A and B are shown apart, each in its own frame.
With several copies, the nearest count.
Chain A
Amino acid sequence: MIQLEEMKITEQKEIATNIFHLQIQGDLVSQIKQPGQFVHVKVAEGIEPLLRRPISIAKINHEENILSLIYRADGKGTSLLSKKHPGELVSILGPLGNGFPITQHKGKTALLVGGGIGVPPLYELSRQLTSLGIRVIHVLGFQSANVSFLENEFSRLGMTYIATVDGSKGMQGFVTDVIEAEKLTFDCLYACGPTPMLKALEQKFPDKEVYLSLEERMACGIGACFACVRPTTCGDGYKKICSDGPVFRAGEVVL
């Protein structure tokens, strides 16, 4: 069930240039059903900024009721969020949306492809996949080394390839270049990142089981305002990214 909760910050750390890892504690954690779900964060009290910010759940710690968010302090809201300290409360609405479905079984291989700030939700996904005995391969793309993160954590869970646009870490180029160069094969693909990346993956693997996590500007985050719709590929229907997604089977909605 969706809850609105003042959650307590237990840790806030800059893990790469302008990339923050925030840990927050509260009952709401018990409601999280899937990796890839997100929360809607009120970055400051009062009405400025007005809207909540959607941020993916990067890691779940059910024992301590803590969830992790990894986000880029970029615009006004995320910058304010990055200035909060442990002990402070932050208003969280969530968990929201439908995350990555886990359809494979022990012994199968999942390829997890993340681009930039799309990487975080793949971390909890990878943890859950590996705990089920599914083999994971990670391909993570970043602009450059200084904004890359979670490499060690992912490496502990499975093979991890890095691509950077400027070549400052891993292979120079895009995630798709890595997949090609390394001739990676898989039973199921999960991806989150910029739309051009998702499009490329969708086109590259038309016959595979591919799940994509999409982003859109949101207002309500719960399916009521129609801000975040995407037309479905077949027919005149539509899906709301916040409540039907953010994860869709490739080909389900128009990217």
Chain B
Amino acid sequence: MSRLNISLPGLDLKNPIMPASGCFGFGREFAKLYDLSILGAMMVKATTIFSRFGNPTPRVAETSSGMLNAIGLQNPGVEKVFHEELPWLEQFDVPIIANVAGSTIEEYVEVAKILSKAKNVHALELNISCPNVKHGGIAFGTIPEIAKEVTARAKEVSEVPVYVKLSPNVTDICEIAKAVEAGGADGITLINTLTGLRLDVKTGRPIIANITGGLSGPAIKPIALRMVYEVSQRVNIPIIGMGGIQSAEDALEFFYAGASAVAIGTANFTDPFACPNIIGQLDELLEQLNINHISDCIGRSWKLGATSNYRA
């Protein structure tokens, strides 16, 4: 599989495919189905300082080619993640990207500091879509200055490279991307979910108890691709792309758009073997298309020149 290896800050990946945060827990369930060592990396569930139960149920709802979720960052807290989940994952030959969440900058800093010390954590991923308590519940990820600050503060304490995960619910994704780059981010991951709603036709009430939820799945792929395309041309740090990837073809579109690696979220729910399948199929697809190495694809859409010369 030598055509699939990719090097990113902190991450020497045997292949550029990894499960997305929150869609793979801490790997225990999937480890019963296949050997996690075949994964390029693993983005584990968001971790906060203290354990969180999350939102009331129902927490998920189906939409056309997508789903809404409002899990509410349920997790066992940073101590348990550090002392139980991460050590358990050491049995696998797979770099971990630890997803860091919080409702204050201090919480991000604290969690980042601890998790970055874990042996198998090769990078952090700051999930800045969480509501910022101090700023009236507006997500960190929507205000450039705050996004920059949380990045810089996490960088100060982290012993591994820091990736920042951007929220797509913004007017100008490049503005946020440039802010976190200025804050010292080593890489960017995008996109997180788009805020959506479903109502029960019989009762008129929200299907999800939290009312709104995050939209993921194939429905959002075109939006994710557009954002990867825009951001990758405006920053000088690598991007791990995600949003609706279901197949090797979908993954390849993200590389063309400008991603250097990709993550698989919702697809794991429909097909628990989605990640290993996509790894295998991507290799075959590159072979079919006569592409020597996946890195040749990164940003091809804009490197080829601005306009399409496609003709039906």
Contact = CB atoms under 8 A, between A and B. Distances in A.
Asked if the two chains touch in their complex, CB atoms less than 8 Å apart, one says: yes
Interface of A: 1-2, 4, 42, 47-52, 77, 93, 195, 215-231, 236, 238, 243
Contacts, number: 106
B272 A227 contact: no
A42 B267 CA distance: 13
Given A228-B57, A231-B53, A50 B33 contact: no
26 contacts: A2-B33, A2-B272, A4-B271, A4-B272, A42-B270, A50-B66, A51-B270, A52-B269, A216-B57, A217-B58, A217-B59, A217-B60, A217-B207, A220-B23, A222-B272, A223-B25, A224-B30, A224-B268, A225-B23, A225-B71, A226-B59, A227-B57, A227-B60, A227-B71, A229-B54, A230-B57
Interface string B249-278: 000000000000000001011111100000
A226 B29 contact: no
Contacts of B273: 4
B311 to A, nearest CB: 5
Given A220-B269, A223-B25, A224-B25, A215 B312 contact: yes
B46 to A, nearest CB: 10
B232 interface: no
B65 interface: yes
A224 B264 CA distance: 14
A48 B29 CA distance: 25
Contacts of B269: 51-52, 219-221, 225
B29 A47 contact: no
A49 B54 CA distance: 26
A243 B57 contact: no
A195 B311 contact: yes
A217 B61 contact: yes
B58 A216 contact: yes
Interface of B: 22-25, 28-30, 32-33, 45, 51, 53-54, 57-67, 69, 71, 74, 207, 217-218, 246, 266, 268-273, 311-312
A69 B272 CA distance: 22
Contact of A224 (B29, B67, B270, B311): B29
A212 B64 CA distance: 33
Contacts of B53: 229, 231, 236, 238
Q: Taking chain A's interface residues, is the majority helix, strand, or loop, or is none over half, making it mixed?
A: loop
A76 to B, nearest CB: 8
A9 to B, nearest CB: 20
Contact of A50 (B28, B67, B71, B312): B67
A136 B273 CA distance: 41
Contact of B25 (A4, A195, A221, A225): A225
A227 B65 contact: no
A195 B309 CA distance: 12
A50 B58 contact: no
A67 to B, nearest CB: 19
A223 B207 CA distance: 21
Contacts of A231: 53
Given A50-B66, A217-B58, A229-B74, 20 more contacts: A2-B32, A4-B271, A50-B63, A50-B65, A50-B270, A51-B60, A51-B62, A51-B269, A52-B270, A93-B272, A215-B312, A216-B312, A217-B61, A220-B23, A222-B30, A226-B71, A227-B57, A228-B59, A229-B54, A229-B57
A97 to B, nearest CB: 12
Contact of B54 (A47, A221, A226): A226
A42 B169 CA distance: 31
A163 B69 CA distance: 37
A231 B59 CA distance: 14
